[in-house]
């Protein structure tokens, strides 16, 4: 009798296992893939020029950094009057976007929502880092710093849009 109850209990546990597996949440949407090529210097110059134009139009002094998809710096520009600390921040924003294949604003939003610890190793959780895409594939990233997070994001998104 005892063996029968044990077998029945084991059978019920196994029978419930597939139902649990079916209730798992769907995987997150895939982020853009790497293209196999990196942003060229000419492309980086056009992206930085677009970023600078938006910043100047709004009276913002910023640091603008473009990296390859592996995080290597292609071009960095410090506008007159930009704060010195923004150089490192712009670089970290660009590398975060490239390394994690998503805009830094996604990390910022996750911190605000309480779904990500603010001290997430290796990522800048603040707006201003955007992927640079050509034909929907990652060729690099841009990081902008010097204004508020929303201002940095405005400039980075406008610049990134020049390549798409």
Domain boundary assignment for the chain:
41-160
Confidence of residue 73 (pLDDT cuts 50, 70, 90): very high
Confidence of residue 22 (pLDDT cuts 50, 70, 90): very low
Q: What is the pLDDT of residue 131?
A: 96
Q: What is the pLDDT of residue 120?
A: 59
The domain 41-160: what is its CATH number?
3.30.450.150
- Reported as a single tens digit per residue, the pLDDT across 105-161 is 988 888 888 777 656 567 888 999 999 999 999 999 999 999 999 999 999 999 999
Cα(150)–Cα(155) distance, integer angstroms: 9
Cα(39)–Cα(82) distance, integer angstroms: 25
The DSSP line for 51-119 is: HHHHHHHHT---EEEEEETTS-EEEEEE-TT--TTHHHHHHHHHHHHHHHTS-HHHHHHHHHHTSS-SS
Higher pLDDT residue, 47 or 112?
47
Q: What percent of the chain has pLDDT over 70?
A: 77
Confidence of residue 54 (pLDDT cuts 50, 70, 90): very high
Higher pLDDT residue, 121 or 72?
72
Cα(101)–Cα(35) distance, integer angstroms: 12
Mean pLDDT of the chain: 84
Cα(56)–Cα(116) distance, integer angstroms: 34
- Residue of 107, 162, 122, 116 whose CA lies nearest to 140: 162
Higher pLDDT residue, 133 or 31?
133
Contacts of 132 (CB under 8 A, 6+ apart): 39, 43, 47, 66, 138, 139, 140, 141, 142, 160, 163
| Predicted confidence (pLDDT) at residue 11 exceeds the cutoff of 60 | no
Contacts of 163 (CB under 8 A, 6+ apart): 39, 43, 46, 47, 132, 133, 134, 139
| Predicted confidence (pLDDT) at residue 16 exceeds the cutoff of 70 | no
Q: How many CB atoms lie within 10 A of CB 120?
A: 14
pTM: 0.79
| Predicted confidence (pLDDT) at residue 14 exceeds the cutoff of 70 | no
């Amino acid at each position: 009798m005892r063996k029968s109850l044990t077998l029945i209990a084991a059978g019920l546990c196994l029978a419930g296992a597939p139902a649990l597996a079916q209730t798992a949440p769907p995987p997150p949407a895939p982020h853009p893939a790497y293209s196999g090529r990196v942003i060229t210097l000419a492309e980086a110059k056009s992206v930085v020029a677009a970023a600078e134009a938006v910043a100047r139009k709004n009276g913002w002094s910023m640091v603008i950094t473009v990296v390859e998809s592996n995080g290597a710096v292609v071009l960095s520009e410090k506008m007159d009057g930009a704060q010195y600390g923004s150089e490192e921040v712009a670089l970290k924003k660009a590398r975060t976007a490239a390394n994690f294949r998503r805009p830094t604003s996604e990390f910022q939003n996750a911190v605000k929502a309480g779904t990500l610890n603010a001290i997430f190793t290796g990522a800048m959780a603040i707006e201003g880092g955007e992927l640079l895409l050509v034909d929907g594939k990652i060729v690099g990233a841009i990081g902008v710093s010097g204004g508020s997070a929303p201002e940095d994001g405005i400039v980075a998104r406008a610049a990134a849009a020049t390549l798409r």
